[in-house]
Amino acid sequence: MKCSKCGNELSENQGFCLKCGNPIQVDPDFNVIEAELASSVLELLEEEDKPSMEDPSEDDVAPMITVDVPYDEINMELKMVDITRTPSKPRVSRDMLRETEEEKAPRENSSKNSNPSNNKENLKKSSDNKKKKLIIAACTCGIIAIIGIVILTVLLLSDMKSKKTYDGNYNRALEASEEKSYDEAIEYCIKAISLSTSDKEEIAARILLDSIYRLNGGLTSDYASNLLELIDLGENSADNYVALVDYYYNNNQYTSINNLIVKIKDDDIFEALSKYLPEAPVAEQESGNYAGYVIVKLTATEGNKIYYTLNADGNSLNGGVEYREGVKILGEGSAKLTCFAVDANGIESKRTIFEYNITQGELNAPKVTPSSGSYSDFMTIEVEVPQGSTAYYTFDGTDPTKESKKYTDPIDMPRGTSKFKVIVFNEYDLPSAITTEAYNLNISRVISLADSKKLVEEELVKDEIMLEDGKTPYGTIEVTYDRIAIIGKDEYFIFLATESNDAGTVLAVTIYGVNTHDATINTEIINAEGGEYTLPGL
């Protein structure tokens, strides 16, 4: 290395150029001022150690012959000091500061040859110089002490400041974690979180805290709380959800799982949580447009319950209704059905939403055959009833209700004129429109009224109930016509056979019906309550 001023070759760690005196600072930590101060102190200490040649008592001072020598004739030589510094602290060599015996000799001889007055003056100057040097030494020590105190204070303040900043606590947490001092690392992380000034800083500290919790083992509620805070800060990755739900599941905190999943909107996260959650319900009726109404049937895994809300959020059990049968959605407009399943642990599934748009309308009127008209042969009336529905009908022209006669099988068309009305109620008691049909059934008779009466009288004689003249062992029997009765699909002439004794007292009345279609006699006809004739079982 060469001097930047004169180009003289320099040795390693040389503080000054010995040729031109240019200061050289090789070590950036080397302080020239500190080195000079240290050299001055060392020089003073060495002078204290030497026997004093400048402070004799007056008795010891002998008359001396002085020779005036011009100052410029004194052979003086400036010796440059080479100050070196070890890597740890500056050090001034005693050899570099000590003058050689040859350099001292001329000055000593000069002093001996001076006169007494000059000696006294020199002694006074020497004393003053000594005091000045002591003052300089004291000041130098004070300055060095102050510098040390300042450096120490700066270090302490820097350490204290690092403990009061986000970065300081974050870095200390990293160091403690690397040293496996996890409890200490957790404390620094929590402190860093409290000192964070942005979501980015808090997220970074919480991610570090999460990793430390995992390394430390024995996961606690603090671990779960930190994960929840991360999710709330937007770190809602599937891994964070899985870790948190796994903690809740293993600690039987099922309500916490339910409170968490209502926040999830991402299907990929639900897929990642599938082993912890029950499957969502399925609707048989897909979302879409429906006329009049729709009945939605829901199914879920066996053993799981289903809860739903209609036109609501349905985020909790408190807001849901337990599903038992189809959900009726009636009336014109849109409806949103939200449903979820609940397993034996009370864990809720993903919310599934179905949307239905109902347009104005009602159940279609049932189809009836045959249609209105006149008929000359026996006919049966059939009604098409949808599965799960029930039909009710009347023949007297009144509108049917659920109190009317229930349709179960095809109905015999009554003879004569009739008005048939029928209505259908589906499985959810929703009524259909009413179907009305008008019939006129005119069946040709094969026997007249007179012939029918004669047929009844012949039957009584044949059965030996009476004689041909109408006599009986107890009196007489008289056959009289009552009315025409339609029983089922058959038309009957109804006759009454009244048996009386000789005193005119009625002993018995027997009903006979002659079928006008085939001229057969029916003796099983009875007079039902209300005066209507019928057959047993009808």
- Is the domain of 140 the same as that of 36? yes
Specify the range with the lowest mean pLDDT, choosing from 113-122, 297-306, 524-533: 113-122
Mean pLDDT of 137-152: 79
Residue 50 inside a domain? The answer is yes
Residue from 89, 98, 90 nearest 35 by CA: 90
* Cα distance between residue 29 and residue 488, in whole Å: 126
Residues 6 or more apart in contact with residue 161 via CB below 8 angstroms: 168
Beta-bridge partners for 309: 338
Residue 11 inside a domain? The answer is no
- Structure tokens that stand for 234 in this block: 């937007």
Q: Is 498 exposed, middle or buried (0-12, 13-18, 19+ CB in 10 A)?
A: middle
Secondary structure (3-state) at 156:
helix
In CATH, what number is assigned to the domain containing residue 243?
A: 1.25.40.10
Q: Is 254 exposed, middle or buried (0-12, 13-18, 19+ CB in 10 A)?
A: middle
- Is the domain of 102 the same as that of 202? no
Contact 205, 196 (CB under 8 A): yes
Residues 6 or more apart in contact with residue 77 via CB below 8 angstroms: 103
Reported as a pLDDT band with limits 50, 70 and 90, residue 146 is: confident
Residue 224 inside a domain? The answer is yes
Contact 292, 361 (CB under 8 A): yes
Task: Decide which of 328, 359, 390 is a domain's last residue.
Answer: 359
pLDDT(273) > 80: yes
Task: Decide which of 272, 294, 310 is a domain's last residue.
Answer: 272
- Is the domain of 253 the same as that of 219? yes
- Is the domain of 455 the same as that of 488? yes
Mean pLDDT of 504-519: 93
Counting Cα atoms < 13 Å in the Cβ hemisphere of 8 gives 15
Residue 387 inside a domain? The answer is yes
* Cα distance between residue 515 and residue 535, in whole Å: 13
Range of the domain at 512: 449-534
Residue 215, pLDDT score: 93
- Is the domain of 203 the same as that of 99? no
Residue 5, pLDDT score: 75
Tell me, yes or no, if the pTM score tops 0.75: no
Residue 115 inside a domain? The answer is yes
In CATH, what number is assigned to the domain containing residue 329?
A: 2.60.40.10
* Cα distance between residue 29 and residue 22, in whole Å: 18
Neighbours of 450 (CB within 10 A): 10
Helices (H), 262-401: 267-272
Residue 19 inside a domain? The answer is no
Residues 6 or more apart in contact with residue 13 via CB below 8 angstroms: 26, 27, 84, 85
- Is the domain of 313 the same as that of 417? no
Mean pLDDT of 475-492: 90
167-191 per-position pLDDT tens digit: 999 999 999 999 999 999 999 999 9
- The percentage of residues in the chain with a pLDDT greater than 70, rounded to a whole number, is 75
192-241 per-position pLDDT tens digit: 999 999 999 999 999 999 999 999 988 899 999 999 999 999 998 999 99
Neighbours of 31 (CB within 10 A): 15
In CATH, what number is assigned to the domain containing residue 375?
A: 2.60.40
DSSP string, 160-208: HHHHTSHHHHHHHHHHHHHTT-HHHHHHHHHHHHHH--SHHHHHHHHHH
- Is the domain of 409 the same as that of 455? no
Reported as a pLDDT band with limits 50, 70 and 90, residue 133 is: confident
- Is the domain of 96 the same as that of 127? yes
Residue 156 inside a domain? The answer is no
Question: Over the chain, what is the mean pLDDT?
Answer: 81
Domain count, the chain: 5
Residue from 282, 257, 256 nearest 270 by CA: 257
pLDDT(97) > 50: no
Task: Decide which of 147, 175, 190 is a domain's last residue.
Answer: 147
Residue from 154, 192, 152, 158 nearest 172 by CA: 192
- Is the domain of 247 the same as that of 288? no
- Is the domain of 109 the same as that of 174? no
Q: Side chain identity at 397, as an amino acid letter?
A: G
Residue 157 inside a domain? The answer is no
Secondary structure (3-state) at 212:
helix
Mean pLDDT of 265-274: 94
